Structure 1
Amino acid sequence: MIKAAIFDLDGTLLNRDESLRNYINNQYERLTNHLGHIPKEKYVERFIELDCRGYVWKDKVYRQLVDELNIVGITPDELLQDYLAEFKNHCVPFDHLNQMLEELKHSNLYLGMITNGYGQFQMDNIKALGIEDYFDVILVSEWEGVKKPNPELFYRALKKLGLSANECIFMGDHPDTDIKASQNVGMKAFWKKDHQWNDVEADFIINDLSEVPTIIRDLNKQPILQDKKRI
């Protein structure tokens, strides 16, 4: 019986690619006095390349941008502080996010979130999406002192929820830190399909968030005997 749905944030609930593009376009326009000598497209695309879909922290990204593009009058740290303060204003959810969460809560499921990243930054983004109150537990790697794919994060979420792994699904976009990691602790893994990867060995592949409640309802209708036969 599935009693909880636990989610990754970036690339799963938050459309990070679109959010980042919105933010960096806006930063260029706001700071045009310092950045205007650079073609806007070049600034935006180079930032996105250096960011590596969030796997390179922005202090390094901005240091390299300043050096490469001859940015003067503003420091890498000032650009970083702008990112920390302003990114939350450009957060874009994936379609049907609130609808999905509402349906899951109405089905009396517990909801959790496990995300890598800096604590306050991630919480600001969660609040910007307007979804904080849906969740019974939110774990952010900086505050926990451990990050996915370390199983400890998943075990901590289970402990806080008072549930066992086979009572939970985990949904994320990364094949290793989300899918394999959650399967390794005994959860069913829902992969939020991402064009960057193919042939991800998840229990379920999700194209749209609206699919999630139906799949969980179907799982909970399956007789226990049927599950045993499939093992």
Structure 2
Amino acid sequence: MKIKGVTDIFFDLDHTLWDFDKNSALTFDKIFKLNNIDANLSEFLSCYQPINLKYWKLYREEKIDKASLRFGRLNDAFTAINFNIEKELINQLSEDYITYLSSFNHLFENTFEILKYLNTNYNLHIITNGFSEVQHKKLTKANINHYFKTVTNSETVGVKKPNPKIFKYALKVANVKVDQSVMIGDSYEADILGALNVGMDAIYFGSYSNVLAGKLKQVNNLIHLKKYL
């Protein structure tokens, strides 16, 4: 069923439009080679991905800062695979990761198609918890920046999703009322609950293996947003 009265759509970026896991894996492959790291990449990534999510949750909850996130997720992943590495090299890898991450720009299936479709009838925006110096590069290099009228970043606002302040800030910058807006994202906590808690409608983007309770709107392919919008 189509959502009525919507004029503005707010997207998350990482894991929603921009294929973070794929681009991150390619980045690690590159920086491991640059720094002569002979760790097993697939083994590292299998440990890193859940560790990274854990650290981002701590970061969202203001329990750690950016520097702790960047170092800790790498340090813990190397520890998990019993790979000995100097602290200085972890710091170098952390810097290289941020440097090269936006050089890979794989998007989820049908990203261009759905943005082109939605752009004809709605104002499109981004709300992201990602680091500001990286997110704008991702949008530009992936050639989707022109679709978005505003980009709201947690570092600019000073709080992260699901904090109500970032949603209210984004609505103010977009000059739109909450009941005319919808949030689309992959994080139930940050994107969906964050939006619903300020009165904004929301659509969860994720696998149906993670079907959420209740009547929550959900798609597992971006093109299926046409069902609602």
TM-score interval for Structure 1 and Structure 2 normalised by the shorter chain: 0.7 to 0.9
Of residues 19, 23, 26 in structure 2, which corresponds to 1:19? 23
Looking at CA atoms only, which structure, 1 or 2, has the larger radius of gyration? 1
Work out the number of aligned pairs and report it: 212
DSSP 3-state at the match of 1:85? helix
Percent of aligned positions with the same letter in both sequences?
Answer: 23
| Alignment partners' CA distance in 2, 1:175 and 1:47 | 21
| Alignment partners' CA distance in 2, 1:94 and 1:69 | 32
Normalised by the length of structure 1, the TM-score is 0.82
Return closer, same or farther for 1:131/1:29 CA change in 2, 3 Å cut-off. Answer: same
Q: Deviations over 1:177-229 (max 9, x none)?
A: 1111111212211000146743254641112111224421xxxxxxxxxxxxx
Q: Is the 8 A contact 2:208 2:220 kept in 1?
A: no
DSSP 3-state at the match of 2:228? helix
| Alignment partners' CA distance in 1, 2:21 and 2:138 | 14
Give the AA of the match of 2:189. Answer: D
What does 1:81-230 align with in structure 2 at a 5 Å threshold? 81-107=95-121, 109-194=122-207, 197-201=210-214, 203-216=216-229
The answer for the alignment partner of 2:42 in structure 1 is: 41
Q: Deviations over 1:65-110 (max 9, x none)?
A: 5664123596221111100110111232111111111111112x11
Q: Is the 8 A contact 1:17 1:53 kept in 2?
A: no
Q: Is the 8 A contact 1:179 1:202 kept in 2?
A: no
Of residues 48, 59, 71 in structure 2, which corresponds to 1:59? 71
Return closer, same or farther for 1:72/1:156 CA change in 2, 3 Å cut-off. Answer: closer
Give the AA of the match of 2:85. Answer: I
| Alignment partners' CA distance in 2, 1:43 and 1:103 | 38
Normalised by the length of structure 2, the TM-score is 0.82
| Alignment partners' CA distance in 1, 2:140 and 2:97 | 16
Q: Is the 8 A contact 1:66 1:75 kept in 2?
A: no
CA RMSD of aligned residues (A): 2.3
Q: 5+ unaligned residues in a row in structure 2: which ranges? A: 59-68
- Displacement after TM superposition at 1:64 (Å): 3.8
